[in-house]
A and B are shown apart, each in its own frame.
Chain A
Amino acid sequence: MTRMSGAEIVVKALKDQGVDTVFGYPGGAVLPIYDAIFQQNDIRHILVRHEQAATHAAEGYARSTGKPGIVLVTSGPGATNAVTGLTDALLDSIPLVVLSGQVPTFMIGNDAFQEADTVGITRPCTKHNWLVKDTDNLANTLHQAFHVATSGRPGPVLIDIPKDVQFADGTYVKPEKANKGHYAPQVKGDVDAITQAVELLETAKRPILYTGGGVINSGTAASQLLRELVGETGFPITSTLMGLGAYPASGEAWLGMLGMHGTYEANMAMHDCDAMICIGARFDDRITGRTDAFSPKSKKVHIDIDPSSINKIIRVDVPIVGDIAHVLEDMLRIWKARGRKTRSEEVAKWWKKIDGWREKQCLSYEQKGPIIKPQYALQRLEALTKKYDRYITTEVGQHQMWAAQYLGFEDPHRWMTSGGLGTMGYGFPSSIGVQIAHPESLVINVAGEASWLMNMQELGTAMQFRAPVKQFILNNERLGMVRQWQELLHGERYSSSWSESLPDFVKLAEAFGAKGIQCSDPDGLDDAIMEMIEHDGPVVFDCLVEKHENCFPMIPSGKAHNEMLLGDASTQGAIQAGGAVMV
């Protein structure tokens, strides 16, 4: 029974939970916690320049390590600025523990200075949140928060701590002694359901594995088991944006990403398959396209740790609730015990068909003339950085899709992107969080100039904490994805999608003491990229690219997988009024 102040309890609980890094920004209502952080050396505090960046940096840390990301912000504006990052983490199932200061308990409800109803505001954008009114409950709540954030389907949690609770003395409880409540999601899948799934593996003529971020979240064992499953069965595999790296991009069975900007072969295979094994993905609208025409001929297995994901959008035949690693282990064991059967002749025919789709070379483009194509920039970036110990983050938009198409990921936790929420401004702070977690690695944020400007103040953070992050900006002076949709859907009326008065990115970098590089010449691109990689410090790389390039392939809104557009020639009238209402 150790007595200490609430602020000391917070720091002690973080240490006992194995936390080494906190991303945050101080303010009146968290000063006692900052004072406690000042008086110790185990936990490093990374001072960001805006609380939103703290949450994204913590996401980058979490997505690249598999450990929860920790954020510390003050009351009122500190907490409200964290809302976007919380929502981003919720939609992508990223474990975050956010601590916010609150006005003293006796002032709550009085519209005190920097008071906001933080638990009320963050209730729909956290997995769970708590307002701690008694210091004696603080340690227990903190340990419970880590348990909730990291178990089951991971997600962000928030603990609101009034200032008087931080000052008052209370009893500290160790994690192993804490009451973590009754929250305990099921991890083992139902054996009968798994056996049914195995039967489908055995009888499928045109199978496909459709994987997602759940495989990454389940841990490296899940990725290993997935590779074993693909290796043993020889079935084709595709993945959502969130799941890239679970199966290596260099693997023979890899079809590339699926969905709105996925490859032709992946989407056609999804449409024509007779057995779909969905592993840790959630039939998001970016994946399904028109739901009533989604993979009409297939039997579907859905493995997910969250029962509410099952039958939410697409009705499946074999639902399996459980952790991916646990379920895949059982599935492989049962499949092996039953004699490792597949209909290999039919599957070989299926591969022939897929190879036919591959021949379309849906990602081909032509780099000619004096202007850099964004695809070319990414292909060169891939070629020149492949052999490095490399982590990629992105912002949101065309560059994000091109990065997913043209960069290859061999391992999980190497690709950190805002998938569900689509948060512009996510990538730069996220890259800082990744770099803090992996100080010796090459961390590159693939960005568009518009997204990047949304959190460019973080150059200060990168400089202060010597995070040598590389900001690879594909600068088309446009909100490229908005512009593309306006071209296809809104009669080429480019309403507010043109960035005027852009800064000189080289001078901007230099103003913070960072290095700036500008490149507009395809022939000079390789040298410029090497200069970026070899510079020991943050680099802002302003890559001037073709201004009107569209991102293809594309499944227009309201269309089915087999109605995808491959290039500009086929876009006339492609999207009808029905599709325009979809986002």
Chain B
Amino acid sequence: MSPLDLKKGSSKKSAYDLRTPFSDVNERHTLAVLVDNVDGVLARVIGLFSGRGYNIDSLTVAEVDHTGHRSRITVVTTGTPQVIVQIKHQLERMVVVHEVHDLTVEGASVERELALVKVRGTGDLRVEALRTAEVFRARVMDTTLQSFVFELTGAPEKVDAFVELMVPLGLVEVARTGVAAIARGAE
């Protein structure tokens, strides 16, 4: 590959990154990062991704251990296998990071996302929106005579599908939490 034969997006990187990758295939991985919940911890993690040109597709963060002040950051990222391993090692060497788990390679895991979807309409559109919501097991959180706010939980693809169906039915606004993920099984 000629160094000038850049792939889309890679020209933002420095010339130091014009290396030939070991595999060109991008993979989607979900990483769970356990960190100390201290000042600036999120900025550190995000700064690592932006500074080294890694992608963030989704990011969620919350304190999961209030006594130990640990937060869990769930990052969905895409990259070649080599880049994914790099991301893991780069995260692991940060002083605030306790553990990094690549849930995509460490066995089966569940991924869930919560969305709040506002739809406006009357008559048949309104009925159809409610019926579709039932199919998706979305719950009605708020209603007026012209609108609904649905709450939907599921894999990101399910949320995508629901939002797409709501477009012709009067979609107004969507709020999504991003992915939370955890390994299946007893461990």
Contact = CB atoms under 8 A, between A and B. Distances in A.
Interface in A58-78: none
Interface in A304-330: 306-308, 310-313, 315
Interface residues of A, number: 32
Contact of B16 (A124, A285, A578): A285
B15 interface: yes
Interface magnitude class on chain B? 20 to 34
B20 A291 contact: yes
A504 interface: no
Interface stretch (B88-96, B157-165, B166-174, B176-184): B88-96
B3 A182 contact: no
Interface in A565-581: 577-579, 581
A308 B100 CA distance: 13
Interface string A450-479: 000000000000000000000000000000
Interface in B93-150: 93-96, 98
Given A183-B95, A581-B4, A119 B18 contact: no
B186 interface: no
Contacts of B22: 315
Given A119-B40, A123-B44, A308-B86, A583 B93 contact: no
Interface string B1-15: 111100000000011
A124 B53 CA distance: 13
B90 A582 contact: no
Contacts of A578: 2-4
Contact of A582 (B15, B20, B92): B15
Nearest to A309: B89
Q: For A119, A148, A308, A313, which residue has the most chain B Cβ atoms within 10 angstroms?
A: A308
A501 to B, nearest CB: 32
A152 B92 CA distance: 13
Interface in A97-145: 119-120, 123-124, 127-128, 131
Given A315-B82, A582-B15, 4 more contacts: A123-B40, A153-B93, A291-B19, A581-B18
In the complex, the 8 A-B pairs of residues with the closest C-beta atoms, listed nearest first: A308-B89, A128-B95, A292-B20, A307-B89, A578-B3, A291-B19, A582-B15, A578-B2
Interface of A: 119-120, 123-124, 127-128, 131, 148, 152-153, 181-183, 185, 285, 291-292, 306-308, 310-313, 315, 558, 577-579, 581-583
28 contacts: A119-B39, A120-B43, A123-B43, A123-B47, A124-B51, A128-B94, A131-B39, A131-B40, A182-B98, A285-B16, A306-B89, A306-B93, A308-B86, A308-B90, A308-B92, A308-B93, A310-B89, A311-B82, A312-B86, A313-B19, A315-B22, A577-B4, A578-B3, A579-B3, A581-B3, A581-B15, A582-B3, A583-B16
